[in-house]
Homo-oligomer: A and B are copies of this chain.
Amino acid sequence: MHAVRVNGFPCKDPMAVNTEDFFNPAMLDRPRDTKNSKVGSNVTNINVINFPGLNTLGISLARIDYGPLGVNTPHIHPRATELLTVLEGTLYLGFVTSNPNRLFSRVVKKGDVFVFPKAMIHFQMNLAHDKPAAALSSLSSQNPGVISIANAVFGSNPPISDDVLATAFQVEKKLIDWLQSQFWENNHY
Contacts and interface: CB of A to CB of B under 8 A. Distances in A.
A46 B85 CA distance: 11
A17 to B, nearest CB: 8
Given A8-B11, A85-B136, A103-B160, A78 B120 contact: yes
Determine how many copies of this chain the complex contains: 6
Interface in A18-42: 18-19, 22-30, 38-40
Interface of A: 1-8, 11, 17-19, 22-30, 38-40, 46, 51, 53-54, 57-61, 69, 71, 73-74, 76, 78-79, 81, 83, 85-87, 92, 94-106, 108, 110-121, 123, 125, 136, 138-140, 145-161, 163-165, 167-171, 179, 182, 184, 186, 188
Contacts of A53: 115
